[in-house]
A and B are shown apart, each in its own frame.
Chain A
Amino acid sequence: MRTILRLSWAHVREHPLRLSLTSMATAAAAAMVIWVVSGYDALLKTFDEYANLALGRYELSVAPISHFSQVAPGVIPAPAQKDVPEAAVALLRSDPAVRVADPMWALQIAVAHAEPSAVAGRRGELPGTVVGTGADAAPFDLVEGRWIEMSDGLKEEGVLSLAAAEAAGVRVGDELVLGSGKLQQRLRVVGLVSSPDVSGWSASVAKSQTMTPAVGGLFVSTKLLEQASGQSSRISFIGVGLKEGADLTPFRFQWSPRLSALATPCQFQEAHDIEEALDESASAENLEFQGHMAAAVSMLAAFFIILSTLNMGVTERIRQLAILRAVALTRAQTALLVVVEALLLGAVGYIVGCTSGWLLMKAAVATAPGLLEDGAVVGSFSLVLAAVCAFGGALLASAWPALRAMRVRPLDAMGKLAEPAPRGIRPVWLGAGLLLISVYPLMARVLPHGDEEPFVVYLLVGLSCLAVGVVLCSPAFVHLVDRSLSPLLAGILRIPPRLLVSQISSNLSRTLATAVALSVGLGLLIGIHVWGAHHAGRISPRELGTGCNDRLPPWRLGARSSRAGQCLEGHHPGPARGGGAAPAQGRSHPQRAARHRGAPGQRGHRRGGCGTRLWRERAAVQVPVGSRKC
């Protein structure tokens, strides 16, 4: 093994430029995995923290089941009554185990500073989601001031979450304006509560997909919210606290069927349900899926890059390998030599890639602090996945060159090596290639397919056939280009045409490998762009329902989402400002959609004009959080 390690290292070191280019390319692939997967890890961590704190002083929250059916990507839910029926409150309060059952109404409504000049210099954005409640105690710990006086129905008081207050530069005692136009209500901030301090995009996701007191940035009395919005109060969810000693499990067990039998079926959410719901949410799954795609594409990139380097190395070193076979190495050891070399390249790529991924995150944090909510934290899973990509890609890539190295005979070192004769076009390869290329268009055009077919299958089968087909056809293309363009090029470059041919056609495998590596690189780039734009369209602040002011990570911001973002600046009633913003039209993932509760029955609403109409209307009216009225 020492011989093999020494030889591999010596060879890798012999071509520093090749080593650095290959490592850089592999490193870029590994860094991409680190970046994407760390983002996913961080998101899960944020969700975990959020889930543990979101219920505040309550043990459970009760919300309509249908609220949670909106989470599949691209799915626009059926119009549904999404409020908890009034009856549920009385029912719950009648249970001796229940300490408190507080109905809460979450609504998106404009909130502004009453006297902007008074807060000049410390003015930020105010929360868009207001929770109207009749609770006699703050849902979260008070960090300053007091809770709203509830004895009088219309107390013009409000309590802000600490994070919202800090972001907006509001202090206890400041005055805010709730609602707009004639209905506007002034209120005084009387206290600050420490609701879960998660911010940014993942917080928006969290708030949009769970119903807990943490959705609110501002708490006011229900009456005040009714006045400011001109609507009669509703119950978005009920915060339920149990008496000391009451056992949660039998309580849930006993109540679950009763809640689902209500006019609007409801369900409990406990901290772990919230975490599960968030982890399984479309956004988390999208990110996870992206992570896997990034890993697969990176592995592919690493594979092709290392393959072409190794293949080149074997071609150049036939004589050396033959000498080694003659004086030192067995066939298996020769193959191992190539494999070890591939692993060395993978290892350098991995180390450089992880380091640069981390540095990239640090740079991102330094330049845009809100971009990565958890700072430059490289998740352990991302390290494992990047290792799988770098080393897995390297191992796969070494198979063919190792096989070639094994076939080298000691005698190949003894005589002069003849120049490989250029091979002609192979009709069988060309035919098979064309046949494979036609699979994808055939699948898309001829085979019937609706929403139900898993598009991943189309993608994998179709694109794999396309890729293999192009590779099979490319020798013929190379020959054709060679024959038609070589004389011209040779004339321009003033070199003998035969020499040019020997460089292109004779080194067909190298030419091919380079072409494939290039196309994979380009494909990677295009894929990321398309993927990013696709998802940016799919998830938009409007769909998240709350936190419209929260930032989206830049790789989700495409043309569509920024347009969608524009339409959401402010929440004033008025004409549709974002009417042109198209809804996410991308294909949904049927399997993923089906995994989410309530997915069946919504299929008819996935696409088309209804979505556009929905968007227009939603942009025009105040939307109760979680409710998606058509």
Chain B
Amino acid sequence: MSASSDHPVRLQGLVKIYTQGARQIRALHQVDLTVRSGEFVAIMGASGSGKSTLLHAIAGLTDVNEGKVIVAGQDLASFSDAALTRFRRKQVGMVFQAFNLIPSLTAEENIQLPAMELPDVKTRAEAILQRLGLLDRRHHRPDALSGGEQQRVAIGRALMMEPAIVLADEPTGSLDSRTGQELCQVLRDLVTREGRTTVMVTHEPRVAMWADRVVVFKDGRCLSEFPVTPNAGAEAVALAYEHALQSAA
């Protein structure tokens, strides 16, 4: 197995600085992170700790000031804008807190979006709709779907191109706790059954407990990390997270 398929995500010495007028904000500070193939990683941290920025850097949505982002064996810095879009479409599936579906398209069309040019788009979408239990909702527009259904559609869209990695930024943030748990189950199943590498940002231990590993972020730095055992509950994760924060302090 090559290094790239072994480690779909490798971040080395990542620095991201936002400039706002004369003010500079260090959102990421020398971040190193590697995600193994088929691994489910949760990134936890306080608000403003740089979690989303990290995810955007992995997706190539934002330039970094220093360091390397290697996704599926490709250094993102080597891509032109159009090539990066094509790469992202193929290799990176994204799920956002706000669902970010296209309101004028049906659930099925939203799922098909990244793959509309492919000849087998219909069969792919069909399989995904079935897998996510959305077959009876396929012709509904987003405004006719519940929050949980919308987020499942978003997951479906992320899976459409069978990407090397799925990135999810607080996917349960807009859902009630029960629906949130159902969605976590969906993500977990994707990792367990299909070996889909997943990086998920959250600040909820109840969500992070579904992951294989939790990476703790603080002030743009990767503070520490801890594994999550299959039967660990939310409390155990919360304790481990608090411990990580305190030991750093």
Contact = CB atoms under 8 A, between A and B. Distances in A.
Given A3-B113, A329-B85, A414-B96, A324 B102 contact: yes
Contact of A327 (B56, B94, B117): B94
A327 B104 contact: no
Interface in B195-242: none
B82 interface: yes
B114 A327 contact: yes
Contacts of A414: 52, 56, 61, 96, 169
Given A320-B103, A414-B56, A326 B114 contact: no
Contact of B100 (A2, A332, A413): A413
B102 to A, nearest CB: 6
A167 interface: no
A1 B116 CA distance: 9
A11 interface: yes
A411 B101 CA distance: 15
B99 to A, nearest CB: 10
A11 B89 CA distance: 22
B61 A14 contact: no
B113 A327 contact: yes
A257 to B, nearest CB: 71
B86 A14 contact: no
A98 B104 CA distance: 79
Interface in A51-96: none
Interface string B55-94: 0100101100000000000000000011001101100001
Contacts of B85: 325, 329-331
Contacts of B149: none
B62 A331 contact: no
Contacts of A329: 85
A6 interface: yes
B105 A7 contact: yes
B109 interface: yes
A319 B103 CA distance: 11
Interface residues of A, number: 26
Nearest to A3: B116
A85 B101 CA distance: 87
Contacts of A2: 116-117
B82 A331 contact: yes
Interface-centre pick from A11, A14, A328, A330 (highest chain B CB count, 10 A): A328
A399 B105 CA distance: 25
A323 B82 contact: no
A363 interface: no
Interface in B29-68: 52, 56, 59, 61-62
B157 interface: yes
A13 B102 CA distance: 13
A10 interface: yes
Nearest to B160: A327
A535 to B, nearest CB: 47
B61 A326 contact: yes
A391 to B, nearest CB: 23
B230 to A, nearest CB: 32
Given A14-B104, A411-B62, A413-B100, A327 B116 contact: no
Contacts, number: 66
A2 B113 CA distance: 10
Nearest to A409: B61
Contacts of A327: 88-89, 94, 113-114, 157-158
Contacts of B52: 414
B138 to A, nearest CB: 15
Interface string A1-31: 1110011001101100000000000000000
B116 A6 contact: yes
Contacts of B109: 6, 10
A340 to B, nearest CB: 14
A507 B170 CA distance: 32
Contacts of A320: 102-103
A323 B81 contact: no
A332 B102 contact: no
Given A10-B105, A411-B62, A330 B114 contact: no
A328 B105 contact: no
B81 A330 contact: yes
Interface string B6-17: 000000000000
Contacts of B86: 330
A415 to B, nearest CB: 8
A410 interface: yes
A407 to B, nearest CB: 12
A326 B81 CA distance: 11
Contact of A330 (B82, B100, B116): B82
A599 B113 CA distance: 66
A320 B116 CA distance: 17
Interface string B93-135: 0101000111111000100011011000000000000000000
A326 B102 contact: no
Nearest to B109: A6
Interface in A458-478: none
Contact of A10 (B101, B104, B157): B104
A84 to B, nearest CB: 74
A3 B116 CA distance: 6
B111 to A, nearest CB: 11
B81 A410 contact: no
Contact of B102 (A323, A409, A410): A323
Interface string B141-166: 00000000000000001100000000
B88 to A, nearest CB: 7
B184 to A, nearest CB: 21
A524 to B, nearest CB: 32
Nearest to A321: B102
A319 B169 CA distance: 17
A479 to B, nearest CB: 25
A13 B56 contact: no
A325 B94 CA distance: 12
Interface-centre pick from A323, A332, A413 (highest chain B CB count, 10 A): A323
Nearest to A323: B100
A7 B102 contact: yes
B114 A328 contact: yes
B103 A14 contact: yes
Contacts of A326: 59, 61, 88, 94, 100
Interface-centre pick from B56, B86, B104, B157 (highest chain A CB count, 10 A): B104
Contacts of A331: 81-82, 85
Contact of B89 (A7, A10, A14, A328): A328
A6 B115 CA distance: 13
Nearest to A325: B85
B81 to A, nearest CB: 6
Interface string A397-441: 000000000000111011000000000000000000000000000
A328 B101 CA distance: 12
A6 B61 CA distance: 25
A411 B61 contact: yes
A328 B158 CA distance: 11
- Going nearest first, the 9 A-B pairs with the smallest beta carbon separation are A10-B104, A3-B116, A14-B104, A330-B82, A330-B85, A323-B100, A410-B61, A328-B114, A328-B113
Interface of A: 1-3, 6-7, 10-11, 13-14, 319-320, 323-332, 409-411, 413-414
Given A323-B101, A326-B88, A327-B158, 8 more contacts: A7-B102, A319-B100, A320-B102, A320-B103, A326-B59, A330-B81, A331-B82, A411-B61
15 contacts: A7-B105, A14-B103, A320-B102, A323-B102, A325-B85, A326-B88, A326-B94, A328-B116, A332-B82, A411-B56, A413-B100, A414-B52, A414-B56, A414-B61, A414-B96
